[in-house]
Amino acid sequence: MVIFSISNARYTYVHDQKYPSKDVDIHHIVSRRSNAKYLVYATALLVLACALYLYVLKGKSISFVYYSLLFDIFLVKLLLGKPVKKESVVIMPAFGVQLETHYVSGKVIRYFVPIDNILKPVLIECVTPVTCYWTLSLIIRGESEMVLVFKNLRPPVKMLVHVWKALCAATDSKEETCTHAE
Amino acid sequence: MRRHCRLWWPKQLLSNKESSSSILLGWFVTCSPSSLDIIAAFTCSEVLLSSYSPGIQMVSGMIQCNEGIIYGTWGSMPSVLEDKSKFSVLGLCVTDPTTSNGLMNGKEDDKKKFSEYGNALQEGGTDRKNNSRSCRCFQLDGSLRKSSQYVLGRSNWVLVMFDSPEQNDVGIHRLPKLHHIHWNGLTMSQYDVPVIIYETPSYGAHHFLLCHLGSNEQAKTSIKNPKWDTIILAINCTAAAKRIFETHLALCCHGAPVFQILGFDLHHALATLHISTLHWFISLVYSSQIQALAAFWRLFSIVDTTINLVCPLIEVTTISVIHVTPYTKIFLWLVRPGRFPSGIWLEIIGCQSNSTASPSADFTDEITSYKESLHLKDFNREKSSSLVSALHSNYLSIGSSISTVAHGILIGQRMSSMRSILLPSPMPWTSMHYKESIGAFVMIHLLNAL
C-alpha cells in the first residue's frame, strides 16, 4: 500500500509500506521517461522520414538512409540508453539495508549491507563546473569508499531527505547537518 | 531487558513431516550484548535417538552419550567459529497441535512469570535450575516432558513451535515461531522474532559469502570483526555439523570398531594422493607450455632485432599471466557460478502476524499526507508481527567481474584484490572434491589440445 509519494518531471518517490514499518521500510525512486520517450521516438521518425523523402524524390544515395538509420539508433541509445526502471532502498532494522536496482528488462541487482556495518548515512552536495546536485551515501565500516544509495538515478534533494531520515532512524544516527566553515 | 533476537531456519526443516517433538541443534551467536542469533542447523528426533541406544536404559547414560556427541561435533568445527560460538543443543521443537494449543493458553502465565523472574533476579536470590524446572511448558504433555531431559539444567535454550498453514499469513507449511527463550535463568517471551530461511550449503554446490568491497589493508587491521561473519560461517557449517553429528552418533551408540576410523584416514589419504597427483600433472603441463612459449619467442628474436628488445618484457608478462590465471577455477566458475558467491541478499516473503495482535482496519484509501503516514506508523508499531525472509546469494557475471576488476585497477587497488574476485576464500567447506578436480582438469586439457 502506497503511503506517501512525491513526483517531479523526471522521478517519482514512493514510500511503500505494505509491511509494518518496524519490520520493513521500502522506499522507491521510479524513473519517469514517458514524455521524453515519445519525443525521442518522434524525432527519430522525423529524421527517418526526411531521409526517405530525399532518397525517393531527390535521388539521393541509399547510403544516406543507412546513415539516418544509424543516427536514429544512436539517438535512441543516447537519450533512452539508461535501462534502469527504479531503484529501491529496503530498510530492515533487524538486518540491514538492501539497495536494489531494477532494470527495464526485469533484471534486479541487489546489494545488502548489514545494519552493524553502517556507520552513518550522509547527504552530500556535489559541485561540478556545470551543475550542482545532491547524493545520498552510506559510510560503511571497513570500506575505503562510500556506497551510493542511488547509483544510476539522480533524484532531487527533497526526495533524498525522506530516505535519509529513514536511514538515520534505522541506524540510530543523528540527523545533523555539517557545514564547512573553512 | 530487550534483546534483538533472530531465528535462522534451514529450508529442509520446512518440509519435515515428523509428528513428535524434536531436539534442535545449532549455534547461539551473541557477539553483542543486545542481540541474539539462533542458528538452527538440524533437528534430531527423540525417537530416533532412543532407537539408536537400545542398550542404554538409564537417563543419565543417555544424557552422557548425547553430551559426547555434542562435544565431538563441536570439536570438529572451524576454530574461528569455535571462538565465537559453540555447537550445542538449542532447545525443543514442538509439532503437536494440542501441545501448541496448551502453550497458547499458557502465554499469559508466561508473561507473569517473566516479571516475577525479573524481580527475583534483581534481588539476586534465584536458583537457575529451579527457574528452568518451574517453567510451565514441562507440565503440559507427556512426550514434551520426556524430551525435556535434553534441556533440563541448561541455562540457555528455546522452545520453537510451528504454525499451521491456516494460522500463518505467509503461506509456508511449517513456519517456525519462537515461543519463548530461557536465557541465563530468565524466561522471555518475544513475539516479533524475525525468521530467516536459508538453503543448507553443500559441498561443491553453493555457500554464502558476505560481500566486502575493496577494503584497504589499513582499515582491515582496525576492523572489529562484525558478527555477520560469524553467522554466515555458522550457516556454511550446518551440513558439516550434521554429517559429523551423525557419524559420532553412530560411533557412540553402536560401539563401532576402530577400523571405521582407520577407514576415514584411508579415505583422507586417498583424497590427498589424488590432489597431489593432480597438482603434479598441472605443474608438468605448465612447464611444457612455458618451454614452448620461450622457444617460440626466441625464434622471433632471431628474426628481428627490434622484437628482440621487447621480447624479454613480453615473455615475462605472458608467462606471469599464464602462471597467475587459475584455469580450473575459471572453468568451474563458468560452469557452476553457485560455487563463487559475491554477497548475500534477503528476499522478503511476508510478515507473520501473531495471534495476540489486534485486528487492524483495512485501509482502502491511498493516503497522501505525510502526517497521516506518521500516525499510521505509530499504529503499526503497536501491532505484533515478525518478518519472514529467505537468504540468497549474489553471483558475479563476466561483465560484472570485468567491470569490477577495471574499477579496481583505475582507483589503484592492489593486484591481490583481483584474486579475491575469482578465487573463493580458503575455507574448509569450499574445498574442491577430487572427482570434480579431475573432471575439470580433463576438460581443460581437452580444450587446450584443440
With beta carbons under 8 A apart, name residues in chain B contacting A116. 32, 226-228
**Does A158 lie at the interface with B, CB-CB under 8 angstroms?**
no
Q: How many domains does chain B have?
A: 1
| Domain assignment of residue B193, yes or no | yes
Q: Which residue has the higher pLDDT, B212 or B408?
A: B408
- DSSP E strand stretches across B214-336: none
**Would you say B182 and B135 are in contact if contact means Cβ atoms under 8 Å apart?**
yes
**H or E stretch including B146?**
helix B142-147
The pLDDT tens digits for A2-18 are 667 888 888 899 888 77
Mean pLDDT, residues B1-16 taken together? 76
pLDDT of B432 reads 46
Instruction: Pick the residue from chain B with its C-alpha nearest to A143.
Output: B215
| Domain assignment of residue B21, yes or no | yes
Lowest mean pLDDT among A6-10, B55-59, B127-131, B337-341: B55-59
pLDDT of B17 reads 64
Q: How many alpha carbons fall within 13 Å on the CB side of residue B62?
A: 20
In angstroms, the separation between the Cα of residue A56 and the nearest Cα of chain B is: 44
Domain containing residue B188: 4-97+134-203+226-259
pLDDT of A101 reads 92
| Domain assignment of residue B306, yes or no | no
Please report where in the chains the cell 522525423 appears, as a residue.
Answer: A46
Task: Report DSSP state, residue B403.
Answer: H
Check A112 against B346: CB less than 8 A apart. yes
CA-nearest of B260, B265, B253, B239 to B87 is B239
Lowest mean pLDDT among A147-156, B91-100, B107-116: B107-116
**Would you say B147 and B21 are in contact if contact means Cβ atoms under 8 Å apart?**
yes
pLDDT of B427 reads 41
Lowest mean pLDDT among A5-9, A49-53, B208-212, B371-375: B371-375
| Domain assignment of residue B414, yes or no | no
pLDDT of B307 reads 59
pLDDT of A99 reads 93
Instruction: Pick the residue from chain B with its C-alpha nearest to A25.
Output: B377
| Domain assignment of residue B324, yes or no | no
pLDDT means over runs of 10, chain A (182 residues): 74 84 86 74 88 84 86 81 84 89 86 87 90 90 84 89 90 68 36
What's the first-to-final CA gap in chain B, in angstroms? 68
pLDDT of A164 reads 92
Contacts of A3 (CB under 8 A, 6+ apart): A15, A16, A17, B367, B373, B376
pLDDT at B67 over 80: no
Distance (Å, whole) CA B27 – CA B231:
9
Query: Does residue B389 sit in helix, strand or coil?
Result: strand
Instruction: Specify the amino acid at residue B358.
Output: S
| Domain assignment of residue B347, yes or no | no
At residue B132 the predicted structure's pLDDT band, cuts being 50, 70 and 90, is very low
Q: Which residue has the higher pLDDT, B420 or A171?
A: A171
Beta sheet of A108-114, edge-to-edge order: A2-7, A11-16, A25-31, A84-92, A96-103, A108-114
Lowest mean pLDDT among B251-255, B285-289, B368-372: B368-372
**H or E stretch including B404?**
helix B398-410
Mean pLDDT, residues B408-426 taken together? 52
**Does A19 lie at the interface with B, CB-CB under 8 angstroms?**
yes
Among partner residues B32, B194, B383, which is closest to A94 by beta-carbon distance?
Answer: B194
pLDDT of B445 reads 54
pLDDT of B25 reads 84
At residue B224 the predicted structure's pLDDT band, cuts being 50, 70 and 90, is very low
In angstroms, the separation between the Cα of residue B89 and the nearest Cα of chain A is: 24
Nine-digit cell at B34?
543486545
CA-nearest of B192, B201, B187 to B232 is B201
pLDDT of A28 reads 92
Radius of gyration of chain B (CA): 28
Instruction: Pick the residue from chain A with its C-alpha nearest to B196.
Output: A95
pLDDT at B407 over 90: no
| Domain assignment of residue B163, yes or no | yes
**Does A112 lie at the interface with B, CB-CB under 8 angstroms?**
yes
pLDDT of A87 reads 93
User: Could you give the percent of chain B with pLDDT greater than 70?
Assistant: 39
Number of Cβ pairs < 8 A linking chain A and chain B: 103
| Domain assignment of residue B268, yes or no | no
Check B346 against A92: CB less than 8 A apart. yes
pLDDT of B61 reads 35
Average confidence score pLDDT of chain B: 62
Please report where in the chains the cell 514517458 appears, as a residue.
Answer: A34
